[in-house]
Amino acid sequence: MYQADCQHLITTTEQLESLYGEPMPRAITKELDQISDHYRAFIEKAPFVVVATSGPEGLDCSPRGDPPGFVRVPDDKTVLIPDRSGNNRVDTLRNIVRDPRISLLFLIEGVGETTRVNGIAVIDTDPQLRESFMMKGKLPRSVITVTVEKIYFQCQKALVRARLWEVDAQIPRTDLPSTGAMLQALSDETFDGNEYDRTYREHLKKSIY
């Protein structure tokens, strides 16, 4: 197990600020406490958002995705995220009911900038609200309602360094263990990983919403 050399660890904000210096002025200017028209445009075009929450058991980071526009901006302080069918671990929701703090990271394929939101979340089961998010005849079980406290965009550097959207940088899925192989290795019961992989696409079609 890796162990860091304690003499090289940063343990105070004074050390941190001495190492990195002052933030660039524009990095401060771009942070708002409400959703501007520019930020609204980005959110409403994003088909993917990473949701980070905190609870007594620790932290959680979970992906959410749907066609662009699935996250709504009803006003300049609010975003609405439908909670679609999943694995019922409800880690995100479990955290929200005990610690409402939330962070969101919006991504758009092919775009280098990302948009970050920090705020306070509640879980809403209002029937009319859920019905407004119906997809392929299926309702979300709830809608995560986020009151925005901070919003700002992140520059392209991280995604450019990662070459995230570059076709020639993509890794073939076959270079990694299949989902079935991982589940079989982790399962205490008899589990056919090959059968899981073979039938997963059909299962996904039936269960995605």
Q: What pLDDT digit, counting tens, does each position of 130-166 carry?
A: 999 999 999 999 999 999 999 999 999 999 999 999 9
Distance CA 194, CA 148 (A): 44
Which of the four pLDDT bands, split at 50, 70 and 90, describes residue 188? confident
Distance CA 147, CA 76 (A): 9
Tokens of 68: 């662009």
Neighbouring residues of 59: CB distance < 8 A, sequence distance ≥ 6 = 52, 53
Distance CA 140, CA 186 (A): 30
Q: Which CATH topology does 23-162 take? A: Pnp Oxidase; Chain A (2.30.110)
Delimit the domains of the chain by residue range: 23-162, 171-207
pLDDT at 5: 87
Tell whether the model's pLDDT for residue 189 goes beyond 90.
no
